[in-house]
């Protein structure tokens, strides 16, 4: 009755209040539990999305293991290559050192004084017996000596020296004799110039001529096609073209006809005989078209070239008449 009166009055009993409190606490717990589950689900979904994003960032992520394997294989190959190269270099270095050692051994064995340890170390029975008897044995290199020489060596005597063999090499005396001319009074004159193997006489079609000018006058005309070599100088006994000026040497210069070959545009060989000038180390030199020529060197001569020898005022003009 008291409870009913209390409910009518608008007041609830304390027992009911406690039940309401417990029900409220249960609802709060349920809400929290539901919130936790919802948060876990959200976290899981977010982590899945992140994983998908991470996976989708690099399209070739599946190929990463294969790439790493390829890199490891390349590294192994490079290491193997480096090790092989290092081994080959060590092998070459070892061989080089062995070759150097062999060369040194050969030198030490060939040394005449016999100071090397390897030559001094071995002592055979003959050497011991010779040293015991107080006789020094003569050691020689090369082929084995004859029987008489071996007996002489065992006795301590010096063997006979071999006779000198004939030498058939060029001594130079024949060349000097061929380049020398004996004069009437018995004196010999040695020629400073000798014709080369390519010396040729010019063909009759090429009638080379040498005109000697003194001022405006033609003093002499020389047919150069008559021979292959023309020696110019003051020594009348040996020269072919004498020049009397004191500044000209006895054997001053040479006009030499030589055979030369050249290839045309089709690769065929074309040979011609052309005149050349060479100065024989003269005292005052030779001029070609107003310029001094070098000594002991061939220079090709062409049509209308002008030559001067020494300090002479005479001019030698080379001419080749036109072909008919």
The answer to whether position 265 is within a domain reads yes
Number of domains in the chain: 2
Which pLDDT does position 7 carry in this prediction? 45
Contacts of 282 (CB under 8 A, 6+ apart): 248, 249, 252, 253, 295, 309, 310
The answer to whether position 183 is within a domain reads no
Q: Which of 32, 47, 62 is the last residue of a domain?
A: 47
> Model-level pTM?
0.46
Cα dihedral 107, 110, 111, 113, rounded to 10, equals 160
Chain centre to alpha carbon of residue 40: 81
Which pLDDT does position 282 carry in this prediction? 93
DSSP 69-99: HHHHHHHHHHHHHHHHHHHHHHHHHHHHHHH
CA neighbours within 13 Å on the CB side: how many for 66? 4
Q: Give me 146's structure tokens.
A: 């004859």
Which pLDDT does position 171 carry in this prediction? 67
Q: Is 157 helix (H, G, I), strand (E, B) or coil?
A: coil
Ranges of the chain whose pLDDT falls below 50: 1-11, 56, 111-122, 124-134
The answer to whether position 297 is within a domain reads yes
Q: In angstroms, what CA-CA distances link 131 with 19, 134, 144, 195?
A: 137, 5, 22, 66
The answer to whether position 67 is within a domain reads no
The answer to whether position 142 is within a domain reads no
The answer to whether position 198 is within a domain reads yes
CATH number of the CATH domain containing 219 = 2.60.200.20
Distance separating alpha carbons of residues 55 and 43, to the nearest angstrom: 18
Are 238 and 194 a contacting pair, CB within 8 Å?
no
How buried is residue 2: exposed, middle or buried, by Cβ count under 10 Å (0-12/13-18/19+)? exposed
Q: In angstroms, what CA-CA distances link 12 with 5, 22, 112?
A: 10, 15, 140
Residue range of the domain that includes 208: 191-319
The answer to whether position 161 is within a domain reads no
The answer to whether position 170 is within a domain reads no
Distance separating alpha carbons of residues 178 and 129, to the nearest angstrom: 62
CA neighbours within 13 Å on the CB side: how many for 131? 6
């Amino acid at each position: 009755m008291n409870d009913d009166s209390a409910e009518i009055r608008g007041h609830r009993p304390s027992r009911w209040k406690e039940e309401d409190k417990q029900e409220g606490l249960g609802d709060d717990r349920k809400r929290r539990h539901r919130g936790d589950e919802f948060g876990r689900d959200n976290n899981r979904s977010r982590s899945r999305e992140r994983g998908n994003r991470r996976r989708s960032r690099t399209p070739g992520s599946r190929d990463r293991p294969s790439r790493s394997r390829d890199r490891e294989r390349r590294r192994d190959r490079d290491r193997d290559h480096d090790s092989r190269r290092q081994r080959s270099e060590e092998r070459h270095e070892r061989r080089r050192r062995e070759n150097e050692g062999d060369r040194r051994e050969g030198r030490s064995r060939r040394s005449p004084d016999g100071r090397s340890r390897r030559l001094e170390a071995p002592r055979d029975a003959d050497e011991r017996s010779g040293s015991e008897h107080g006789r020094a044995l003569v050691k020689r290199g090369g082929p084995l000596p004859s029987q008489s020489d071996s007996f002489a060596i065992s006795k301590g005597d010096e063997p006979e020296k071999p006779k000198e063999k004939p030498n058939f090499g060029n001594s130079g005396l024949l060349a000097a004799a061929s380049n020398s001319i004996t004069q009437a009074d018995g004196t010999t004159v040695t020629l400073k110039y000798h014709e080369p193997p390519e010396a040729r006489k010019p063909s009759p079609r090429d009638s080379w001529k040498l005109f000697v000018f003194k001022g405006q006058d033609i003093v002499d005309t020389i047919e150069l096609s008559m021979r292959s070599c023309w020696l110019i100088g003051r020594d009348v006994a040996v020269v072919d073209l004498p020049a009397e000026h004191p500044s000209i040497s006895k054997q001053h210069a040479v006009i030499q006809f030589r055979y030369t070959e050249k290839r045309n545009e089709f690769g065929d060989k074309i040979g011609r005989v052309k005149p050349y000038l060479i100065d024989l180390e003269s005292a005052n030199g030779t001029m070609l078209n107003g310029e001094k020529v070098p000594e002991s060197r061939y220079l090709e001569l062409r049509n209308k070239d002008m030559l001067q020898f020494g300090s002479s005022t005479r001019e030698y003009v080379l001419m080749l008449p036109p072909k008919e």
